A and B are shown apart, each in its own frame.
Chain A
Amino acid sequence: MLISSNPPELIWIWAGVAVYAVATPLALTGKASSPLREKLLLGLLGLSLVLFALAIEIRWMRIGHGPFINLFEILSSSLFSLGLIYTLAFWRLPLLRPSAVVTLPIMLILGLWLLVVNPVDSHLPPTYDTPWLWAHVITGKVFLGFCLLALGLAGAILLRQSGFTRRFSSIPDDIVLDLLAWRFMGVALVFQSLMLIAGAVWAQDAWGRYWAWDPIETWALLTWLAVAAAQHLRATFRISPWLGAIMILGIFILAFLTFFGVPFISASPHKGAI
């Protein structure tokens, strides 16, 4: 394996994480609804996007392939994709802005984790040279992005019901947040289904099987089943916004483990990939 202990893109990663380190306390403190602070947050979110995009581009040009292989690449590309989806939502949906209290600490934790992950260069296996990989990765990132949006609202519901009302005084009732959060989960389910289909086509071409119960496949299926089960629970029983928020939190944890936990304990995201 090629080794690069101090790759040039690391400086931009550090800068991107530093922006989150500034943005997170800004989201956690101050007045509940301040247009200036929201503009500042939007600017910082945009700046972090540019910095992570630069880091990914420099690495891509240097090693000749996209961020698909090891945990360093998966984390950096996820910081970019999650940041992109959250920034767009933050910009277009003012109702969502107070959820920065929940989402920005998560982004900061991901960023800090990235700083301690070995930035070793990776080798792109020939089976990764397919458009299905792109379809699989992009739909997966969109899925996780919408889970993050739902989690932001779920977190707002949970925090408000735990007594942290001041920060969320400007946003609608829990029942509205719950409805919007589950709409995000609906979009997430659509993209997760597409991710599973694209992944199965890729796996069939790459390894001669569309499903093999490898760790990431199994956890991805469990996440899909968890979303399906949650939707059926909501259709069957009268689920309170609090319980709905707990379910979203559980689904996000499952998705998080699938995306980052499996690559953390495994040499490659998929069995037989390298």
Chain B
Amino acid sequence: MRGRTLKSMVRLLASTRLALLGIVLLALGALFSYDNPDAPLWLLIAPLFLLALNLTSALFANARIRQNGGLLLFHLALLGVILLVGAGYLMRFDGRVEVTEGSVFSFDDAEPIRRGPLHPFRLNRVHFAQGSFSVDYLGGLNRSITRSQVFVPDANGQRIALVVGDSTPLLLEGYRFYTTPNKGFAPLITWTPDGGLPSSGTLNMPAYPKFEWLQKNRWTPPGGTEILTFELHIKTKYSESADWILDGKSRQTTLTLISGNRNIVLNPGDTTTLPGGQLRFDELRTWMGYDIFYDPSLPWLFYVAILGVFGLAWHYWRNSTSVPFTAAVVPSESRSIV
């Protein structure tokens, strides 16, 4: 009795009508999620769960699927894709980070955007140092190729230089670091307090050329109270008509330090005396913004999806070779139409 109830329940869950309902609900969920990051996730999860249940039941209850190799492979792959997307979502990490030329990546600086509950945090194992970057621009602001140099340690601890950018991410510990249009200049300054030891650091200016008009940052020297304002002036402007390259080397700059009523213009290498110590503008460096992405399901998703398409093609091929379409009238019961 219980077995019969279970069978009828599986048959009900396996019905193509339920598959239709799931597809319609998923389409509605997709419409609501369209360009709407605030759309509730259950709008997609609920129909996907329903479809996964329907697919699983159909694999048991639908003899037509089981007996048709192509159709079986396609439906198994669909189920696999749904499960892998779910697993990927649970393990995913999305974040961003700015890394300055000459410094090493620190996971403390990474800003998480989304972290799945099952994400195996390994960002602290990621080690790389940022080198310089260059971005080719066509006339004006048409961004072309980005080349960002990074240094990673090999198995022997030796530094290897790599160039990443655009469609080539930096792959470390399963994390993918993608260069972004968010990048800019970072003047290196050295502060030497009266009677103390010098310390150096960079001031990351807003993204360039997007915020070309706002190359400003503030900083308070250690132990001081005054907030110093720094303005970076880029003497070599980009070209509106000819191709140009953005990098830290080809730009001539001055750094204007605003302290109280004083405006002090510093060229690279210049030093100025301020209350409590001396400040030197060492050189112009750059910073690169990266998007960080982690999802271990990606290669599996690809292989399973390709298998599914192979199954679909196999099914249609078998159908079209077994029944010629020119057969005048095909009885509806025997029509193989999926």
Q: How many residues of B contact A (CB 8 A)?
A: 55
Tell me which of A123, A126, A206, A221 has the highest count of chain B C-beta atoms within 10 A of its own C-beta. Answer: A126
Main secondary structure of the interface of A (DSSP, over half): helix
Closest chain B CB from A162 CB (angstroms) = 22
With contacts A205-B169, A225-B30 taken as known, whether A232 is within 8 angstroms of B312 at the C-beta atoms is no
Chain B residues positioned under 8 Å from A210 (CB to CB): 298, 301
* B305 located at the interface, meaning its Cβ lies under 8 Å from any Cβ of chain A in the complex: yes
> Do the beta carbons of B176 and A215 come within 8 Å of each other?
no
Interface range on chain A (Cβ under 8 Å from partner)? 35 or more
Whole-angstrom CA separation of A179 from B328 in the bound complex = 10
> Do the beta carbons of B20 and A233 come within 8 Å of each other?
yes
* B166 located at the interface, meaning its Cβ lies under 8 Å from any Cβ of chain A in the complex: yes
* B42 located at the interface, meaning its Cβ lies under 8 Å from any Cβ of chain A in the complex: no
* B308 located at the interface, meaning its Cβ lies under 8 Å from any Cβ of chain A in the complex: yes
With contacts A186-B316, A218-B31 taken as known, whether A176 is within 8 angstroms of B166 at the C-beta atoms is no
> Do the beta carbons of B20 and A201 come within 8 Å of each other?
no
Smallest Cβ-Cβ distance to A139: which chain B residue: B309
> Do the beta carbons of A228 and B23 come within 8 Å of each other?
yes
Chain B residues positioned under 8 Å from A2 (CB to CB): 138-139
* A189 located at the interface, meaning its Cβ lies under 8 Å from any Cβ of chain B in the complex: yes
Chain A residues positioned under 8 Å from B168 (CB to CB): 205
Whole-angstrom CA separation of A132 from B173 in the bound complex = 25
Chain A residues positioned under 8 Å from B326 (CB to CB): 95, 172, 176
Interface residues of B in 288-338 (CB under 8 A from A): 291, 293, 298, 301-302, 305-306, 308-309, 312-313, 316, 319-320, 323, 325-330, 332, 335, 337-338
Whole-angstrom CA separation of A130 from B19 in the bound complex = 36
> Do the beta carbons of A213 and B337 come within 8 Å of each other?
no
With contacts A126-B146, A197-B306, A235-B337 taken as known, whether A183 is within 8 angstroms of B325 at the C-beta atoms is yes
> Do the beta carbons of A123 and B138 come within 8 Å of each other?
yes
Whole-angstrom CA separation of A95 from B27 in the bound complex = 35
Tell me which of B142, B167, B335 has the highest count of chain A C-beta atoms within 10 A of its own C-beta. Answer: B167
Closest chain B CB from A95 CB (angstroms) = 8
> Do the beta carbons of A126 and B325 come within 8 Å of each other?
no
> Do the beta carbons of B176 and A176 come within 8 Å of each other?
no
* A112 located at the interface, meaning its Cβ lies under 8 Å from any Cβ of chain B in the complex: no
- Contact string against A for B residues 134-155, beta-carbon threshold 8 Å, 1 for contact and 0 otherwise: 0000111011111000000000
14 examples of A-B residue contacts, CB within 8 angstroms: A125-B143, A126-B165, A130-B167, A176-B325, A179-B337, A182-B337, A186-B312, A206-B166, A210-B301, A213-B36, A218-B33, A222-B31, A232-B23, A235-B338
Q: Which 5 A-B pairs give the minimum distances between C-beta atoms?
A: A208-B178, A186-B316, A205-B167, A126-B166, A236-B16
Instruction: List residues of chain B with CB under 8 Å of any chain A CB.
Output: 15-17, 19-20, 23-24, 26-27, 30-31, 33-36, 138-140, 142-146, 165-169, 176, 178, 291, 293, 298, 301-302, 305-306, 308-309, 312-313, 316, 319-320, 323, 325-330, 332, 335, 337-338
Instruction: List residues of chain A with CB under 8 Å of any chain B CB.
Output: 1-2, 95, 123, 125-127, 129-130, 172-173, 175-176, 179-180, 182-183, 186-187, 189-190, 193-194, 197, 201, 204-210, 213-215, 218, 221-222, 225-226, 228-229, 231-236, 238
Give 14 new A-B contacts, CB below 8 A, not counting A208-B176, A236-B16: A1-B140, A2-B139, A126-B143, A126-B167, A175-B328, A175-B330, A180-B325, A183-B320, A201-B302, A205-B169, A208-B178, A208-B293, A218-B31, A235-B338
